[in-house]
Structure 1
Amino acid sequence: MIDRMSDDFGLARPSHLKSRSISAENPTGLPGQGARATQGTGEEQSRDLGQGWKVSPSIVLPAGSVTELAAINGSGIIQHIWAAVRPEWWRRLIIRFYWDGADEASIELPIGDLFGLGWDVFTLFSSRHVMTAPYCGLNSFWPMPFHKSARITIENIAQEDTFLYYYVDFGAGDIPEDSMYLHATWNRSNPVADGIHTLLDVEAQGKYVGTFLAVGVNHPGWWGEGEVKFFIDDDDEFPTIAGTGTEDYFGGAWNFELPEGGYTEYHGDRMGMHQVIKPDGLYQSQTRFGMFRWHLNDAVSFESSLRVTVQDLGWMPDGRYLVRKDDIASTAFWFATEPHASGTTGLTYENLLVGSRP
């Protein structure tokens, strides 16, 4: 199915799909139901204007709550998601997507990582599937088809309420029967144990289509020598695909280092290192990085299983490799023929917030 077209991994967007959008101004997404609110987060500001004048531009996410953002019945494809929420909430809000009535979420991760942003730090960047805009405008263009229904929830794990502005733009209507389901798996190792961080370990049929990696170095020295490996189907000890270094997988080379020294951000449609967060001289004493790699033309196909890992590897002063113990959080994007649990691990309050801003 996904080989049928090159655009968006072959996921067709038929012209007959009906345009719909779910937001705080139209929580059902039904035709003619937008901007009808008489109460909402903007009712004080619109008190002189009344209904139809931005009465409900956002929603409140109560502390410790799970809020349903969208419930769509029938088939279609989510084409764009926009959200706006302050950076300090990006690992305090857990977003989940459920396809076709599944009990377990196929996408489950902190909201910032869905949009390629780690460390509760805003960064401008643009790519094929994710882009950010001033200030804290978060955009996802990952195609998300569904056959029977789609449901999105968000959990506020913090002890304070917050506001969320959002759109879920989708096309409603028939989609190809063999359209696969998007999944996103988040995992964090802090510190990485035994030099290996696992991005994905799943039994399914599908295609691996993207990686977001947030790396926080826990001690000085070069951190990106480790290979990214894809263990496909019957692979056991040795993988089918083995890279030559972390920076190589993200399109760079030789430590990402410029001739004059130091790092610089870069980003394009397919890959980038869009976050180079320098030490602040106080609590954040080490540099932190954010990198993405979208497999637009080189999705990794698997028939029965896939395991994806990256080594946490650097150098010793004498030129030997050094197994490090850094802080790595990863998001793996993959399509599968059936809805599956995302395989997310480590979504505890402590694991999400360790290393975040004080």
Structure 2
Amino acid sequence: MFVGSEMSIGLDKLFLLDKSRTRSISAENPTGEKGKGGMALPTEDTEYPNSSAALELGQGWKARPFLKPKAGETLTIMDIDGPGVIQHIWMTSDMSFKKAGRSCVLRFYWDNEETPSVEVPMSDFFAVGHDEFAPMNSAVVIVNPLTALNCYWQMPFRKHARITFTNELNTDLELLAFQITYAETEVPEDAAYSHAQWRRGVTEKSHPEFTILDGVQGKGKYVGTFLAWTQLSAGWFGEGEIKFFMDGDKQFPTICGTGVEDYFCGSWGFPETYSTLYAGNTLRLKGLDDPQKFSPPQWSLYRWHIMDPICFEEELRVTIQSLGWGQDGKYRPLEDDIASTAYWYQTEPHQKFPDFPSYKERWPR
């Protein structure tokens, strides 16, 4: 729930009236302006998928519902002045994440900043791991068949909001459909900005620690973790602890978890999939029914700190250990492939993110 001087969202506030105005951006209304939706004229130009289907109907009849991002193209899908708050993003693309998941990148820029506050592959931003569909029903991210991506993270901006979509494939996408709903409203002085960062790496047995987030400076709240974890060896992988180093912590963190399944609100491993308001294990392991189709175990795990945000005053670093369980009853350091998306709010300006992994560096080896 976002609560401000001009805006309140939630069932307990839904009946209250305020001065905010609802607007929505899509291919049919790219500016979100009042009275400007559905104005496109139908065309046979293949740049606008399905537009030709409205030729006999004319203007106002689904003439520009989708875009077709060309190979290597960056599209600006939102570019508006504030103040306001993004409330919901729905997005879908080609029918398989294999083509349009981690190959495409979302970047969000607040208040005319030069570097993005959000920089995440499309699929991972919506908690889809490994470019593999898995249904998800959480408080802020919902994934529905076939590739329907939804997020309800509240994203305030004061002066300006710009969102880009980059197709890094060497082929055109058949379509990109999106709806970004936001409120034109005043933003309270104490409102922080939404951030999300993606990383990927392989842990080393000599020090099997993966960095989820580092270099954050400013005051803020850490609000979510999504991990796309690929095991590179057999056996149980989830003995490692998550650690939150904040506000001057050096060797030891202020907050230390007790195990991977514990952090994702499970226990005694992940015997089955689950998707709850705040935590889940969504991707069913391959090969359970047919050993001939078995592949290295891949996990899609989310944990939203909505009811229990991690508050920090000056700085934050988040790590997780890659530890298994050995037959000798001892912890086993692992070389696993981990991709993470960290979600947090903080004051601006933010520190520049690490260089974003290239197209070829985004998938397990």
Over aligned residue pairs, what C-alpha RMSD do you find? 1.8
User: Contact 2:51–2:65 at 8 Å: present in 1 too?
Assistant: no
Match for 1:318 among 328, 348, 352?
328
Unaligned runs of 5+ in 2: 9-17
Per-residue CA deviations over 1:286-320 (Å, capped at 9, x if unaligned) read 12111111111211111111000000000221111
Counterparts of 1:103 and 1:275 in 2: how far apart (Å)? 36
Cα separation, 1, equivalents of 2:59 and 2:118: 35
24, 32, 36: which is aligned to 1:33?
A: 36
**Alpha-carbon distance in structure 2 between the residues aligned to 1:160 and 1:327:** 27
Give 1:299's aligned residue: 309
Among 237, 242, 246, the residue aligned to 2:251: 237
Matched position secondary structure for 1:179 = coil
User: Equivalent of 1:115, from 126, 129, 144?
Assistant: 126
Q: Which residue of 1 aligns with 2:343?
A: 333
- TM-score between both structures, scaled by the size of structure 2: 0.90
- Secondary structure of 2:269's partner? helix
TM-aligned CA deviation for residue 131 of structure 1? 0.3
SS in 1 for 2:284: strand
Rounded Cα–Cα distance in structure 2 between residues aligned with 1:277 and 1:52: 46
Alignment partner, residue 52 of structure 1 = 60
1:145 to 124, 135, 156: 156
Identity of aligned residues (%): 42
Aligned partner of residue 247 in structure 1, secondary structure: helix
The structure-2 alpha-carbon separation of the partners of 1:344 and 1:142, relative to structure 1 and needing over 3 Å to count, comes to farther
In the alignment of these two chains, the number of paired residues is: 342
Worse overlay, 53-62 or 34-43: 34-43
SS in 1 for 2:262: helix
| SS state at 1:57 partner | coil
Q: CA deviation at 1:284?
A: 6.7
Report how far residue 128 of structure 1 moved. 0.5
Matched residue, 1:161: 172
- The one-letter amino acid paired with 1:337 is T
Structure 2 counterpart of 1:17: 20
Distance 1:339 1:197, change over 3 A: same
Range moving further from structure 2, 344-353 or 62-71: 344-353
Pair 1:281–1:63, CA change in 2 (3 A): farther
Structure 1 pair 95–344 and aligned structure 2 pair: CA distance change class (3 A): farther
Q: 1:270 and 1:11 mapped to 2: Cα distance?
A: 23
334-343 or 162-171, which deviates more = 334-343
1:215 match: secondary structure = strand
Stretch deviating more after TM superposition (143-152 or 272-281): 272-281
- What is the distance in 2 between the residues matched to 1:92 and 1:11? 37
Q: Is the 8 A contact 1:106 1:339 kept in 2?
A: no
- Is the 1:105–1:341 Cα contact (8 Å) retained in structure 2? no
Q: Which runs of 5+ in 1 are unaligned?
A: 1-6, 257-262
Q: Offset at 1:277?
A: 3.4
Q: Is the 2:89–2:152 Cα contact (8 Å) retained in structure 1?
A: yes
Match of 2:87 among 59, 76, 79: 79
Are residues 339 and 123 of structure 1, via their aligned partners in 2, closer, same or farther at CA, if it must alter by over 3 Å? farther
Cα offset, 1:344, TM superposition: 4.8
Matched, 1:223 2:237: yes
Distance (whole Å) between structure 2 residues aligned to residue 318 and residue 253 of structure 1:
22
Using the alignment, how far apart are the partners of 1:97 and 1:282 within structure 2? 42
SS in 2 for 1:153: strand
Q: Distance in 2 between matches of 1:11 and 1:82?
A: 24
2:274 is aligned with 1:253? no
- Residue type of the partner of 2:217? E
Residue 363 of structure 2: aligned partner: 353
Q: How far 1:353 moved relative to its partner?
A: 3.4
Do the aligned partners of 1:200 and 1:343 also contact (CA within 8 Å) in 2?
no
Q: Does 1:206 align with 2:217?
A: no
Q: TM-score, normalized by length of structure 1?
A: 0.91
How far, CA to CA, are the matches of 2:4 and 2:293 in structure 1? 45
Q: Residue 45 of structure 1: SS of its match in structure 2?
A: helix
Output the CA distance in 2 between the equivalents of 1:25 and 1:284. 44
Q: Which amino acid aligns with 2:247?
A: D
Aligned to 1:197: 210
Give the Cα separation in 2 of the matches to 1:334 and 1:251: 19
Query: Amino acid of the residue matched to residue 221 of structure 2?
Result: K
- Does the 8 Å contact 1:230/1:307 carry over to 2? yes
